[in-house]
């Protein structure tokens, strides 16, 4: 029984999954495609045309944020950057913040 307790107390490093970033990219692509189809299928100045255009714009926004999140998550895992850095460790937070700024700027552009 003691061996089972010791084994369960060991911390196992699980690989990081980019689930939310990839999921948001997928949602952005779906919104983009559906919005493009809706905007092109109906006559201009109709409610469905405006709805499709709004979906198109929101799809672009979600996709750009998802891409930025994926890049930041990948860099964090490649550079082995944790949220809790100890002491004088170098944290390239400027680089990661600038990637988020690019994504947000692309969303508003």
1 in a domain, yes or no?
no
Instruction: Please check whether residue 6 lies inside any domain of the structure.
Output: no
Structural domain includes residue 3: no
Structural domain range at position 96 = 19-81+91-108
Q: What is the DSSP letter of 42?
A: S
User: How many C-beta neighbours within 10 Å does residue 72 have?
Assistant: 19
CA–chain centroid gap for 39, Å, is: 26
Instruction: For residue 47, count CB atoms less than 10 angstroms from its CB and return exposed for 0-12, middle for 13-18, buried for 19 or more.
Output: exposed
As for how many domains the chain has, the answer is 1
pLDDT 10s digits, 54-89: 999 999 888 888 888 888 877 777 776 665 555 555
Asked whether residue 103 is domain-assigned, the answer is yes
Q: What is d(CA 56, CA 12) in angstroms, rounded to the nearest whole number?
A: 42
Torsion of CA 86, 91, 97, 103, to 10 degrees: -110
Segment 17-53, tens digit of pLDDT: 567 788 888 999 999 999 999 999 888 889 999 999 9
Give the predicted TM-score (pTM) of the model. Answer: 0.66
């Amino acid at each position: 029984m003691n061996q089972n307790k010791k084994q369960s107390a060991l911390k196992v490093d699980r690989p990081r999954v980019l689930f939310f970033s990839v999921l948001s990219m997928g949602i952005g692509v779906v919104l983009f495609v559906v919005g493009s189809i809706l905007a092109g299928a109906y006559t201009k100045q109709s409610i469905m045309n405006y709805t499709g255009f709004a979906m198109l714009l929101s799809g672009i926004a979600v996709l750009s944020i998802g891409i930025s999140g994926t890049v930041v998550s990948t860099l964090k895992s490649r550079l082995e950057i944790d949220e809790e850095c100890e002491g004088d460790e170098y944290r390239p937070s400027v680089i990661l913040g600038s990637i988020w700024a690019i994504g947000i700027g692309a969303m508003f552009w």
